[in-house]
Structure 1
Amino acid sequence: MEERLPGGRNDGAVRAGDTVRRRAGDHTPAVHALLEHLHRSGFHRAPRALGFDEQGREVLTFLPGLTVGEQRPWPAWARGDAALVAAGAWLRDFHDAVRSFVPPPGARWGGDHDEVRPGEVVGHHDAAPYNAVWRPLPTAADPDAGELVGFVDWELAAPADPLRDLAFSALAWVPLSARDVAAADGFPGGPRVVAERARRLRLLLEAYRWDGDVATVLAAVERRAREHADGLRAAAADGYVPAVRLVTEGVADAFDRAADELVADAPLLVATR
């Protein structure tokens, strides 16, 4: 028996026992090679690829835990410091594990190029709360404490500078999204919003063990937000139905607003301690 999993706005996925089935694409063989490399390297906080089923769908191991799914506002764990810190540490450990990955010949990816260029790794590029799987382990001191089981939805995996991957995680987890979007996700606004964003950004960068400056990350976040907006509009213009829907819903515009707000907030985000 198959059970539809919540979320998955583009194609969705179903659970069958301890496996997940979802539609495959040109990128799927390369993603499966990546996931297998991670497990051989001892990095087990990601699904494992199990091949394809009789319908041609990819088969992955199911990661047990809580997900954001279709909840909005997001659940408390997705907005807490514990998950933010865990996400930063996960991303750094993933980048360390993937540096030794050699893609198979002819690998196709979900980005704008397929070859791994100097200084690049194959990143996840969507390691956001809505793709996180969380196991709560609450304590009296921290009711939102828990363990990050891993991230799902690897179809956007592609070669890029690791900073591009980190930038999207900052955009999603701090969050550095447009204020109205962050409010709808459950994050507080008000006069302290920039100070709170600065605090959470530093938590994320410390967990990632970022050794550069904050301004460099903020510039990368702005670029990433604008690229995402432009990419959605281009895909919609090409007739890609999920992108048409997202652009119609105002998602591309929201990424542009996030970039504009970030430009205005950047001096305070860098200066606030």
Structure 2
Amino acid sequence: MLRIYIDDSGKSDHSPVLVLAGYLSDNVRWTDLESEWRAILADQKMTKFHAAEAWRGAYGSGLKAPLVRDSAFVKLLNCITSHVDYAFAVSIPFESHDHWFQPKQFPELPSLRIYSMAFYGLMTQIHQYLYKRHFDKPVELIFDEQGGESTARVLSGMKEFRRLASTDFPGLNVSTPSFKSDDGCPGLQAADMLAWLLRRDAYNAAGQVDRTQTAEALMLGEAVSMPSTIKIWSDDDLRLAAESVANALR
């Protein structure tokens, strides 16, 4: 059994992008990661890990402090790279998405919302990978619970997604994603680290920060050192997608 954990990072009022990201591994390796993860947290006198909170509380910004060998970030990052097989991520800029899709004007079309777009974009990436590499293996998909998004609304597109997937990925059977809290779930906390590092790197890039001098960029390199599929949506990508949607709705 394979398992994929996915978390999100980024709100429109404090981030240039929404990121969904996470990792794939098999049940045995996830069990090993969970055991090691909890031991690291206990050693650091932490009960759970949320990247943004840990960064604010312990490090601030800068190159050296977060890279200290005994830091929670470094130990947990080493834990991830030791136990996961593959990384997935999608990043969508809020400003371009709002410009091209104007989701607030179409509340009757939840598929235009940025989270839904990221969700199904990532689902497509996952299906493409599984169809090529793990066609016959059962797969469990676990996403972090959404405070601002209704699970029912997000999953309302699954019927149509499965219809399209049956044509593009015939015979591939992936379970309907479930949503759970990342509290007490090391797999989702690992996904949270990846999503936060990608979002933070985008924030630094938008602020024209020299990313060769940021700990976030260096750690991100480690966080995606395994094979990965990462889609960074550009303004042109979103324009073309919006034109495609408009044509389909006509």
TM-score range, shorter chain: under 0.3
The TM-score, its normalising length taken from structure 1, stands at 0.25
The TM-score, its normalising length taken from structure 2, stands at 0.26
Which has a greater percent of helix? 2
Higher relative contact order (CA 8 A, sep 6+): 2
